[in-house]
Structure 1
């Protein structure tokens, strides 16, 4: 019940450039910083109170041609978490935040607490990758 009560929100991803990028151009990646915080929930039933906390640990970006792991939410327009595409294409990019989850139980409990996870929260976006060619004429 405590797991059902905790809300691990799907990340809200951002790229710069937004929606379209170019082959060999560094594309900056980040999620909303206010989502990068612990989530808590508690449930009380029959003399037991279970409290659960999920803490974000890392973000995995599946860029369509490669996967990238970032240790934090990224920073808008900064090279903290970025990727450069190798080919022109259109990709469904998935973004997953992984949460480390701990729980405690107070009252008439069989176990005082523990950990489990990592638990994922995923969302996706479409990103078009173009290619710029120059002429030497």
Structure 2
């Protein structure tokens, strides 16, 4: 009996699914007459593509952290551009790994774009997280903003939902050198906002 260690080779199901040894080792029987019997995996067979999907399902990603200026915790204003962005603490790559024996697959989910539903019927898609407002920022410096045209009535407790859906690209690698892409992951968060008006008072 021979043991071939760490051979990166696959066997195939009838549907073309690639299967790998869970230990990375394959056994080969050599008979006395010199006859070689096809190699068999030492451990169970592993579908590395399914392992990658398992890792993708286990990646832990909370909903995006919505930020606005003016702050969504106060009043937004009609005819005043509202800056929209996702917190930099949230906007990062997320990873997860699934393993069977010595075969593992690691997925990486990276945020790439945000679709904003502003609550007044508008939808905005922004590449990247948006620009965070800082004191002294130029009004035109935001690459992701929305201007409301109609006020809500906060005195009556009325507000509208502001939602952000982040699309994340998903790639995977494995301990046996294979990799690829998977379906994108979406994460959504919603906050309630009130929109007010700035009143101008004419004086003599």
TM-score, reference length from structure 2: 0.59
The separation in 2 between residues aligned to 1:85 and 1:32, in whole angstroms, is 22
**How far 1:133 moved relative to its partner?**
4.5
Unaligned runs of 5+ in 1: none
Equivalences for residues 1-137 of structure 1 within 5 A: 1-19=54-72, 20-65=75-120, 66-77=122-133, 78-89=141-152, 90-107=159-176, 112-134=178-200
The separation in 1 between residues aligned to 2:113 and 2:79, in whole angstroms, is 25
Alignment partner of 2:132: what SS? Answer: coil
Alignment partner of 2:192: what SS? Answer: strand
Higher relative contact order (CA 8 A, sep 6+): 1
Higher percent of residues as strand: 1
The separation in 1 between residues aligned to 2:184 and 2:148, in whole angstroms, is 28
Task: Encode CA deviations 1:106-135: one digit per residue, 9 max, x unaligned.
Answer: 34x9xx332123211111101101133446
The separation in 2 between residues aligned to 1:29 and 1:9, in whole angstroms, is 19
TM-score, reference length from structure 1: 0.85
Bigger Rg, structure 1 or 2: 2
Task: Encode CA deviations 1:42-66: one digit per residue, 9 max, x unaligned.
Answer: 1111442111010111111110121
Taking structure 1 as reference, are residues 4 and 118 closer, same or farther at Cα in structure 2, changes over 3 Å only?
A: closer
The separation in 2 between residues aligned to 1:117 and 1:91, in whole angstroms, is 31
The separation in 2 between residues aligned to 1:101 and 1:115, in whole angstroms, is 6
The separation in 2 between residues aligned to 1:54 and 1:72, in whole angstroms, is 14
Matched residues, number? 134
**How far 1:16 moved relative to its partner?**
0.9
Root-mean-square deviation (Å): 2.1
